[in-house]
Structure 1
């Protein structure tokens, strides 16, 4: 398909070649969009932006050498008007806040439909802000809900490692009934009814990290 002079020039930065190939295939169907370069790590993303001066760069959140958040910070320091859209599989409140604080004005998920991704690109490239409604709603729910205490976070972290109530009590230095009381409070605050659901909800909210 021929490209016009009014194209949106895009740079794609992701360390997974299959993801980049898929994005290129999707965006090639848009007559006014052109992928001018790709990068497979954060440092190369910054260098590529500097060289190409695209209308928009799509950044993955997790990349080798330099993560997407630091790459976005460096790009914005050098180019204050840069349009940056994160495209990632991570969707916790903490990760979204870090991404947007780095200077990006868009946050989209890799599981987004093609039409939603294209809309996100057009919105951010045009100077707007893009965050999927479901992520905005989840962030509001998290902000409105009670925050877990430090001890409750410790309990939940040990639960995620598969420890029993007795083992958690031994590690943290209180009774088994104390563990049960903490768990009841955690379940109420997270709006869940069991351990597995609590772990899942906490990970979605960014309370628990995958590597904890």
Structure 2
């Protein structure tokens, strides 16, 4: 059972998502919140597996809410709810530790699948929007020049791909950039899920990154993973 909290400033959205997700036997909605501050309090109380977080909310928005939850409850994952117009905020939410994002107008079954993917250790990066999000990363980096490396809004990532990555690790890194779970990567590369997990752990250590979300961003930033535009 995946225990989740739904966070959105619109009650209709909260109630609708709760109704839809409660129909899935693997998911239990243990609370709702209208902004990031309320989400943190609910998460402290309920200790959920995942917080479904709207990104634009009055008061404490989804970016700050993600930061607070990841800081106080590092075992709780955050999945962002967004629209096509939020690429700058999505990037900031990833920076704060979100495990990905999905569009509010996605079909219910895709939202359920996204929750399952994140709970299984995957990263949710919808291809149609991911290219736009990482275009924002490129714009910020190029626009700020030398100041970019010290900007709090930019993820601190190595500027060069370090030596020592094996060919298989590079293949796994590429698929991380597409947001695939360990199981999906294993099926694609014909290796076990446990082997993929070991490769991911080695990648994160070798690249000096925080988690697989940063690894996915690294893959796109360095052209290891590419998207058609």
TM range (shorter): 0.5 to 0.7
Is the CA contact 2:63–2:89 (under 8 Å) kept in the aligned structure 1? Answer: no
Match of 1:100 in 2: 94
Report the alpha carbon displacement of residue 144 of structure 1 after superposing the two structures with TM: 7.8
Match of 2:83 in 1: 89
Match of 2:39 in 1: 45
Aligned residues: 143
Q: Please, what is the CA RMSD of the aligned residues?
A: 2.3
- Normalising by structure 1, what TM-score? 0.61
Report the alpha carbon displacement of residue 102 of structure 1 after superposing the two structures with TM: 1.1
Match of 2:73 in 1: 79
Match of 2:122 in 1: 128
| Cα distance in 2 for residues equivalent to 1:142 and 1:40 | 27
- Normalising by structure 2, what TM-score? 0.57
Deviations 1:163-207 (A, max 9, x none): xxxxxxxxxxxxxxxxxxxxxxxxxxxxxxxxxxxxxxxxxxxxx
Report the alpha carbon displacement of residue 32 of structure 1 after superposing the two structures with TM: 1.1
Is the CA contact 1:84–1:105 (under 8 Å) kept in the aligned structure 2? Answer: yes
- Deviates most, 31-40 or 89-98: 89-98
Q: Secondary structure at the match of 2:101?
A: strand
Deviations 1:58-114 (A, max 9, x none): 011112221111111011111222210011235443122111111101201101111
| Cα distance in 1 for residues equivalent to 2:93 and 2:46 | 22
| Cα distance in 2 for residues equivalent to 1:111 and 1:55 | 23
Is the CA contact 1:83–1:127 (under 8 Å) kept in the aligned structure 2? Answer: no
